[in-house]
Amino acid sequence: DAKTTQPPSMDCAEGRAANLPCNHSTISGNEYVYWYRQIHSQGPQYIIHGLKNNETNEMASLIITEDRKSSTLILPHATLRDTAVYYCIAQNRDDKIIFGKGTRLHILP
């Protein structure tokens, strides 16, 4: 199983870039890295995903290392509404989806 590890919590000042790391050292070559976030007890929300190249959308940027063993989600200008639990997942070949406990991001005013 391609499991991921993330720090349990992080703080970021409002208006600054939030950089959330994820380690996925056992990821297979054809597995995508996905990021979701969960605000309070709402349903998780898709943020971004990538395979090898860096990706950017209206919400965030995803930086994947060349060896694909880790990645970083970047929220360029964090706001209080970005306070959430962020999950990094990598899908294994048996299609089981392992979310882990994620990183609880606190945005400080």
Partner 1 sequence: DSGVTQTPKHLITATGQRVTLRCSPRSGDLSVYWYQQSLDQGLQFLIQYYNGEERAKGNILERFSAQQFPDLHSELNLSSLELGDSALYFCASSPRTSSRGETQYFGPGTRLTVL
Query: Which of 10, 24, 8 shows the shortest CA–CA distance to 88?
Result: 24
Query: Is 55 an interacting residue with respect to partner 1 (CB under 8 A)?
Result: no
Q: What is the distance between the alpha carbons of residues 81 and 15, in angstroms, rounded to a whole number?
A: 11
Considering the rule CB under 8 A, would residue 5 count as an interface residue with partner 1?
no
Report, in Å, the least distance between residue 60 CB and partner 1. 14
Q: How far is the CB of 87 from partner 1 (least distance, A)?
A: 7
CB of 15 to partner 1, least distance (A): 28
Residue 34 found at the interface with partner 1 (CB under 8 A): yes
Per CB under 8 A, the segment of 15-23, 29-37, 56-64, 67-75 that binds partner 1 is 29-37
Residue 27 tokens, joined: 């990821």
- How far, CA to CA in Å, does 37 sit from each of 30, 86, 94? 23, 4, 23
Binding residues vs partner 1 (CB under 8 A): 30-32, 34, 36, 38, 41-46, 49, 87, 90-91, 93-102
